[in-house]
Amino acid sequence: MSDNPHLWMRAESRPTERRAPLVPEDAAHLTSQGVEITVEESTQRAFPLDDYLTAGCRTAPAGSWTDAPGGAHILGLKELPYRPAGLSHRHIYFGHAYKGQSGAGELLARFTAGGGALLDLEYLTDDTGRRLAAFGYWAGYVGAALAVLHQRGRLRTPLRPTDLNALDALLNEPGENGSALVIGALGRSGRGACDALVTAGLTPTRWDVAETATLDRSALLDHDILVNTVLMNRPTPPFLTHADLDGPRRLSVVSDVTCDVTSECNVLPVYAELTDWDAPVRRLRDGDRPADLIAIDNLPSLLPVEASRAFSAELWPLLATLGGADPVWARCLGVFETATAGTGTGNSRAAGDWADSDDSQAHEGKEYADAR
């Protein structure tokens, strides 16, 4: 890595992605330290391009990262376009390629073909495995908020980006106060989910490692809403099964913040496809007691300004060290090298770790790690 890093923030290709990994005020911190930043034009980013110019950044057309200088680090959030076939740069984004997810092998093959590398934001950790930059709080907040609004019959579709004041105003409207369970309540995503439920006037049941060591399935099914914020790093008995949905239950809304649907480690194997902004809810069971699913994999983008600012505040100091010998980035690169060498899954967490969908902290001897 060069002594003077060049960051190239690409336009997101997903139409519903409004977030930015680096916001203008934090870009200004970096440019003042001599970091060169190029920001692609975008019609959907929540932050105006002029604000990046004011921060000392250069601009480039959307999608021009393919022609960026070879030493540039391409910064983004969600999936890359399918072309070019070979990826020659070092890319910083959420690749979701180390646990056998759908398309993971093809993505890693593109890096191998082009000689580039993936610096996956999910694996940007300190020496204890703690995630250093995460969107988890807002993922949990939005996931729980959507579940409440749907349960009350007030979820407006298609979904559109909003701000926290507007979302909280909807949650504060009088409505049915059912019971809600958050699994992973001590993590960042779990805390966000619990805060949203409290804002809506609910008192959530909070489960974490201790409460799921021996799962009380009947207690889980006796809640109206389930919000899951936990990812597993190895196959484990699921929290919810098809048999549970077919049997006696109170549960009617499942909000899966983790969206680990294509992984063998999925703890909610009751669905096979994600939902999205146009159709955020899918019916899992009909009948006298229907069961519905919300599983949107870019929840924080519904609060793009709040989520981006929180994430960027954690990320920008790390981006300032790209040109040095920071062990944070070396570990991140090492995960990619392990994965592409075929010597392992690329999962840097110890087997048996319980991974919160967007946090990392030590608790009960287990390591929590952000996954999104």
293 in the same domain as 213:
yes
The answer to whether the CB of 311 falls within 8 A of the CB of 134 is yes
Which of residues 265, 280, 302 is at a domain's end?
A: 302
- List of the chain residues with pLDDT < 50: 1-2, 343-353, 356, 358-372
- Indicate the number of domains in the chain: 2
Cα first-last separation, the chain: 25
Give pLDDT tens digits for 232-251: 878 889 999 999 999 999 99
CB-CB neighbours of 1 under 10 Å: 16
pLDDT at site 3: 67
140 in the same domain as 74:
no
Sign of CA dihedral 213, 216, 217, 219: negative
For residue 254, what is the domain's CATH number?
A: 3.40.50.720
- Of the CA atoms within 13 Å of residue 205, those in its CB half-sphere come to 19
Residue 89 inside a domain? The answer is yes
For 284-289, the CB contacts below 8 A with 24+ separation are 284/245, 284/254, 285/245, 285/246, 289/249, 289/250, 289/252
Residue 196 inside a domain? The answer is yes
The answer to whether the CB of 40 falls within 8 A of the CB of 58 is no
153 in the same domain as 141:
yes
User: Phi first, then psi: what are they for 235, rounded to 5°?
Assistant: -55, 140
Q: Provide the annotated active-site residues.
A: 78, 96
What's the CA gap between 222 and 217, in Å, rounded?
9
Closest CA to 21 of 47, 1, 51, 49: 47
Which residue is it, tokens 């799962």? 215
pLDDT at site 176: 83
What's the CA gap between 163 and 179, in Å, rounded?
26
Residue 38 inside a domain? The answer is yes
Residue 358 inside a domain? The answer is no
pLDDT at site 342: 63
Angle between helices 304-319 and 136-151 in degrees, nearest 10 = 170
User: Containing domain of residue 140, as a range?
Assistant: 136-302
